[in-house]
A and B are shown apart, each in its own frame.
Chain A
Amino acid sequence: AQSVTQLDSHVSVSEGTPVLLRCNYSSSYSPSLFWYVQHPNKGLQLLLKYTSAATLVKGINGFEAEFKKSETSFHLTKPSAHMSDAAEYFCAASGRALTFGSGTRLQVQP
């Protein structure tokens, strides 16, 4: 069975400081991995995806994620947080369908 664990349910950072959202996965194979962002009462927007090419994946809005097979991790980072980054972030792994983590709410303080 496949599972995705987002280690923090809530992360708070100050505007202009780095963002780190953690995600670990468990799978019997190397899945494709995704990060999605959801703003209140909206659908999910794809930030980036890893599909066994480069382990460092660059996405939209300055986000990037690094796939580390040895650590079964796919953490999302951004060098400098912006107020507009405040949202819910979901890590997901591909399979028959997407397996989602429980989500991390990112709060950005002015």
Chain B
Amino acid sequence: GAVVSQHPSRVICKSGTSVKIECRSLDFQATTMFWYRQFPKKSLMLMATSNEGSKATYEQGVEKDKFLINHASLTLSTLTVTSAHPEDSSFYICSASWRGETQYFGPGTRLLVL
């Protein structure tokens, strides 16, 4: 149980384009989903927290207009990187939890912006 999927697992895009990453909880309903960014050989940096049906809460220093987060249902959250630039290249990981319980993580999405 408690499986979280992410799609795509890897994406390469051109600078200036937008990329959407999906995060799904497959066998439970996620009241809260989290989006993290991980740089090489580094720990996870929380970008934003989203609760189903409400606006995401962004961490300090994260551009909300650049990283659009939507949590439209209890099983799906999306992260859209708008007008991507090479410095946005990273490993993006989502997690999901039910009512503040344990977070379960997706397998991650590797984004490369050329």
Q: Which residues of A contact B (CB under 8 A)?
A: 34, 36, 41-46, 49, 90, 96-98, 100-103
> In chain A, what residue has the closest Cβ to B32?
A97
A43 touches B106 (CB 8 A): yes
Residues in B whose Cβ lies below 8 Å from that of A102: 42-43
* With A41-B110, A97-B34: A103-B105 Cβ-Cβ less than 8 Å: no
How many residues on chain B are close to A (CB under 8 Å)? Answer: 19
A100 touches B43 (CB 8 A): yes
Residues in B whose Cβ lies below 8 Å from that of A97: 34, 46, 49
**Does residue B80 face the partner (Cβ distance < 8 Å to A)?**
no
Query: B51 CB to closest chain A CB, in angstroms?
Result: 12
Interface residues of B in 43-70 (CB under 8 A from A): 43-44, 46, 49
**Does residue B76 face the partner (Cβ distance < 8 Å to A)?**
no
> In chain B, what residue has the closest Cβ to A44?
B105
**Does residue B104 face the partner (Cβ distance < 8 Å to A)?**
yes
Residues in B whose Cβ lies below 8 Å from that of A45: 105
Interface centre among A41, A42, A44, A96 (most CB of B within 10 A): A44
> In chain A, what residue has the closest Cβ to B4?
A43
Complex CA gap A34/B93 in Å reads: 17
Q: Which residues of B contact A (CB under 8 A)?
A: 4, 6, 34, 42-44, 46, 49, 91, 93, 95, 102-108, 110
Complex CA gap A25/B110 in Å reads: 30
A34 touches B102 (CB 8 A): yes
What are the 3 tightest A-B residue pairs by CB atom distance, in nearest-first order?
A: A44-B105, A43-B107, A43-B105
> In chain A, what residue has the closest Cβ to B107?
A43
Residues in B whose Cβ lies below 8 Å from that of A96: 49
* With A90-B43, A100-B43, A102-B43: A44-B93 Cβ-Cβ less than 8 Å: yes
Residues in B whose Cβ lies below 8 Å from that of A36: 105
Complex CA gap A103/B42 in Å reads: 7
A43 touches B43 (CB 8 A): no
A46 touches B43 (CB 8 A): no
B49 touches A41 (CB 8 A): no
Known contacts A42-B108, A96-B49, A97-B49; can you find 15 more A-B pairs with CB under 8 A? A36-B105, A41-B108, A42-B107, A43-B93, A44-B44, A45-B105, A46-B104, A46-B105, A49-B102, A97-B34, A97-B46, A98-B95, A101-B43, A102-B42, A102-B43
